[in-house]
Amino acid sequence: MSELSVNHLLGIKYITERDIQLIFETADHFKEVINRPIKKVPSLRDITIANLFFENSTRTRLSFELAEKRLSADVINFSAASSSVKKGETLIDTVNNILSMKVDMVVMRHPNPGAGVFLSKHIDASIVNAGDGAHEHPTQALLDCYSIREKLGDVAGKNVVIVGDILHSRVALSNIFALQKLGADVKVCGPRTLIPKHIEKLGVSVETNLMKALEWCDVANMLRVQNERMDISYFPTTREYTQQFGLNKAKLESLDKEIVVMHPGPINRGVEITSDVADSGQAIILDQVQNGVAIRMAVLYLLASKIERDEG
Ligand code: NCD
């Protein structure tokens, strides 16, 4: 039996292509399970998982919780407003308190980049990064690539453009790493102010003209403009942003091919994507959400099987 090369999922940067393929194969199995009348399996019956959310989340938290429950794990939840948490000291204290209740795995979202890596050096439990600041969001990238594979057969050889607020997006960085490991060609597109300097060093190309990027791609992943992470103004007005970088039906229909449209959610309808596009047959946004549960079941299952093996 294959196993993951890591004991934690801290970022796509730290895993191999083989790990990703193993997660996908395992998710295929769990996808079949969650479409059965009885959606639950006993795989994690002896495992206790703590979901620690130091930053707001709706769909990621629900998706992890559902994945854990479908695997029959015992689950405890902790949420804290980001403002009440200081980097370092309180994080270790909080987590150690929770671990003393015999928790095996921690799923953590935290506003500080590197919070998961930091924690993994100080505690015994297996850690899954559910988003660390603007750094990584590995399960989102896995479910995005899995959804592309499901829709187009394979990720290798596909042209994928990530559009919008690349600068503040952990989804963008994790997607870049995952797509490249799986053999896709990646472009980023958005206003210059929202594209990190030197991003080309990651092997992606930059395009500031949305129509050119759309003509090139097989898949467009439309990111949310993350106003809550912006301390200055990065573009003149939302209306201008939408005109230049928003996706609408007219832009899609002017292409001579049908591209796949993705969005990690939550959507700002009418800003980065219009409702008629978000709700169209070209968009796989709800498939992404559905696949998120199977992917998270796969990640938790594969990491948990390493815990048991290490102890034996
Ligand atoms: C993303 C996130 O939180 O990083 N959303 C998510 O996980 N569903 C993207 C976003 O907030 O725009």
What mean pLDDT is reported for the chain?
93
Q: Is the pTM of this model over 0.85?
A: yes
- For residues 22 and 130, membership in a common domain is answered with yes
- For residues 145 and 113, membership in a common domain is answered with no
Residue with tokens 């990703």: 20
pLDDT at residue 312 tops 50: no
Would you place residue 154 in the very low, low, confident or very high pLDDT band (cuts 50, 70, 90)? very high
Would you place residue 94 in the very low, low, confident or very high pLDDT band (cuts 50, 70, 90)? confident
Query: Which phi and psi (to 5°) does residue 64 adopt?
Result: -65, -45
The whole-angstrom separation of Cα 39 and Cα 34 is 5
Tokens, residue 300: 């938790």
- For residues 238 and 302, membership in a common domain is answered with no
7 found inside a domain: no
Count of the separate structural domains present in the chain: 2
**Tens digit of each residue's pLDDT (9 = 90 or more) over 220-276:** 999 998 877 777 788 889 999 999 999 999 999 999 999 999 999 999 999 999 999
Range of the domain at 257: 138-286
The whole-angstrom separation of Cα 272 and Cα 7 is 37
- For residues 299 and 255, membership in a common domain is answered with no
The pLDDT score that the predictor gives to residue 96 is 84
Among 62, 171, 289, say which to mutate for ligand 1: greatest number of ligand atoms within 8 Å of CB. 171
Catalytic residue among 8, 31, 110, 137: 137
The pLDDT score that the predictor gives to residue 308 is 59
For residue 279, give the CATH number of its domain.
Answer: 3.40.50.1370
Residue 61 near residue 51 (C-beta atoms within 8 A) = yes
**Tens digit of each residue's pLDDT (9 = 90 or more) over 24-54:** 999 999 999 999 999 999 999 999 999 999 8
Q: What angle do CA 149, 302, 103 make, to 5 degrees?
A: 135
235 found inside a domain: yes
- For residues 118 and 196, membership in a common domain is answered with no
Report the range out of 77-81, 108-112, 225-229 with the highest average pLDDT. 108-112
Catalytic residue among 8, 26, 31, 60: 60
- For residues 42 and 132, membership in a common domain is answered with yes
5 found inside a domain: no
